[in-house]
Structure 1
Amino acid sequence: MTSTQTDDSARDDAALADAFGTGDEAVLRAVYERWSTLVHTLALRSLGDVAAAEDVTQQVFVRAWRSRHTYRPDQAPLGAWLVGITRNCIADAFAERTRHARLASAVADQERTVPPTHDTTDGLAERVLVAGELDRLEEVPRTVMRLAFYEELSHREIAERLGLPLGTVKSHIRRSLARLRTRLEVTE
């Protein structure tokens, strides 16, 4: 690059910097065309991931556009200001990676420590225990309970099948459940 080209580039950069705060979208487009390669390269080298670098590049220019009113051309060149925003966006991307890794690790740890939800021996043991307790009931309550829980008959159907009043069937079920609950609480 010759000194004349360098001078022209510096004048173009200064003109872009002066116009950036005006809110003209054409200026934003020109700023993006001028510095997006630099921003993307910095992000890619830092993050090592093309998709993450593209996200950071987009975030940089969105942030720059939204905060264009804070840019002061007399305090720093526009490119340097954009590099500062890039550094912040890269730091945010690293922080997000760290949060994501911690969350994934916590989920993996929890999955390792949570006992399996389907232990067939526990279910079998409970069924044997309940069947044994049902056998300890008197004949009529035992029959009512078996019809209710093993054959899944309604109270009315049990009353019709056994020829008992509906209220009697309900009473047998209520008292039998209370007895079973008391016995099962003692065995636990």
Structure 2
Amino acid sequence: MTTTEATPLPPAGRGAPSAAVREAEIAAGIRAGDARCLALAYQRWGGLVQGLATRGLGDPLEAEDVTQQVFLAAWRGGAHYRPERGPIAAWLVGIARHKIADALASRTRRTALTAAAAGLPQGPDPAAQPETCLDRALLRAELARLPAPHRRVLWLAYFGELTQAEIAARTGLPLGTVKSHARRALHRLRASLEHAERE
């Protein structure tokens, strides 16, 4: 892939490229790192990807974000596209399914951690509920005991509201490592909270 910079993408589905620009030409351009061909792919199949993301996520704004992520991933991984394995639309749909799954998993993790951090339902005076204060103190203590990389991943996911792919890009960690850190940290927090409940 060349070092050509990707240009900002227009709204999905607008200004579809001429039929004269064949799919094979677009695919070859993406594989070669041609930003013009990426823009053509976005114009031709962006609506398809965004529609899939909207149905999967139920949130048009989040779907727009995922659509941008899909085409950014296509730009970065264009050299790996193999036309003999299927049309470019199918390749983009495959990327979209992974990005949608990541977005849903991130949403679930944020909800779970927010619920855990909130502890028990609060009344008008949290100080009148010692159990709630203890739960929060326990959660803070357990977060502090996590290894720094695990703690940072959780912080970025739940308080920074970043997807795992965004965390990997920000921290420079491989995506698999980010997923592993998040899974281990949540497992440890859950085990600690369950242990405390039994005591």
Give the TM-score normalised by the residue count of structure 1.
0.53
Residue correspondence of structure 1 range 1-188 to structure 2 within 5 A: 9=19, 12-109=22-119, 112=122, 116=127
Distance 2:53 2:66 in 1: 7
Distance 2:112 2:76 in 1: 31
- Closer, same or farther in 2 for the Cα pair 1:81/1:95, shift >3 Å? same
Flag the structure with larger Rg.
Answer: 1
For 2:85, what is the secondary structure of its paired residue? coil
- Closer, same or farther in 2 for the Cα pair 1:11/1:30, shift >3 Å? closer
Distance 1:110 1:69 in 2: 50
Distance 1:10 1:105 in 2: 53
Distance 1:29 1:110 in 2: 49
User: Which structure 1 residue ranges, 5 or more long, are not aligned?
Assistant: 1-7, 118-188
Distance 1:70 1:12 in 2: 19
State which drifts further: 48-57 or 10-19: 10-19
Whether the 8 Å CA contact 2:23–2:88 is kept in 1: the answer is yes
State which drifts further: 91-100 or 18-27: 18-27
Q: How big is the shift at 1:18?
A: 2.2
The structure whose residues are more often helix, as a share, is 1
Q: What letter matches 2:100 in structure 1?
A: I
Give the TM-score normalised by the residue count of structure 2.
0.51
Q: Structure 1 vs Structure 2: percent identity of aligned residues? A: 47
Q: How big is the shift at 1:73?
A: 1.2
Q: What letter matches 2:34 in structure 1?
A: D
Distance 1:110 1:63 in 2: 40
User: Which structure 2 residue ranges, 5 or more long, are not aligned?
Assistant: 1-17, 129-199
Q: Give the equivalent residue in structure 2 for 1:170.
A: none
- Closer, same or farther in 2 for the Cα pair 1:58/1:11, shift >3 Å? closer
Which segments of structure 1 move beyond 3 Å, counting only runs of 4 or more? Answer: 8-11, 110-115
Whether the 8 Å CA contact 2:56–2:100 is kept in 1: the answer is yes
Q: How big is the shift at 1:9?
A: 4.7
Q: What letter matches 1:16 in structure 2?
A: I
Could you give the per-residue CA deviations for residues 89-144 of structure 1, whole angstroms, max 9, x where no partner exists? 00001001100110111122257499518xxxxxxxxxxxxxxxxxxxxxxxxxxx
